[in-house]
Amino acid sequence: MLRLFTAIAVPPEIGQGLLPRQHGIEHARWRPQEAFHITLKFIGDVQEPVAAELDEALAAIQAPAFDLELAGVGHFGEGAEIHAVWAGVGENPDLRRLAKANERAAREVGLKPEARLYTPHVTLAYLKRPAVPEVGAWVQAHNLLHSPPFRVVRFGLYSSWLGAEGSAYRLEREYPLG
């Protein structure tokens, strides 16, 4: 069984700009730079034959290369249930089309459709019952985040492995754009 997702890797020079923002929330599990990515489609646990079919469907996606920018910050959850803080992604129709193409590829191989609204982001930390005022102060301190544009020329299929320090990700396959 493999735990999979598709994503765009955040370039190192953009990730470097996120690292100084990783403070100010007690007990936050800040993500390492090599884990920074923009999820296109969370797949979840699948058997290897399904993963192989998914790989073929993803390889068939035809989409142009495009530019992205990180913009703003936010959190998932409310009150004591806040569970992550993130850097946002500027609105981009090409990104949304690529995410929809990933969703279609997953459906083609029999995987369940995503029920949640697609919110492109880069997870910076996972939280467990954080102090709500700390999260609010963090969002206020970083809400003007804006990265330089970066070119997206590929996306990848990643596996996720749970370890002592949290999830680690491994690139399984890359798919070119453009």
List pLDDT tens digits, range 49-58.
999 999 999 9
Give 84-114 pLDDT, tens digit per residue: 999 999 999 999 999 999 999 999 999 999 8
Residue-number span of the structural domain to which 36 is assigned: 2-176
How far is the C-alpha of 121 from the C-alpha of 70, rounded, in Å? 8
- Residue 38 pLDDT exceeds 90: yes
- How would residue 166 be classed by pLDDT, with cut points 50, 70 and 90? confident
Q: Is 121 a known active-site residue? A: yes
pLDDT value at residue 110 = 96
- Given 37, 75, 83, 142, which residue is catalytic? 37
Residue 159 sits in a domain whose CATH number is: 3.90.1140.10
- Both structure tokens of 49: 């034959």
Specify the number of domains making up the chain: 1
Residue from 23, 75, 121, 142 carrying the catalytic annotation: 121
pLDDT value at residue 167: 84
Q: Rounded to the nearest 10 degrees, what angle do helices 93-108 and 48-59 cross at?
A: 140
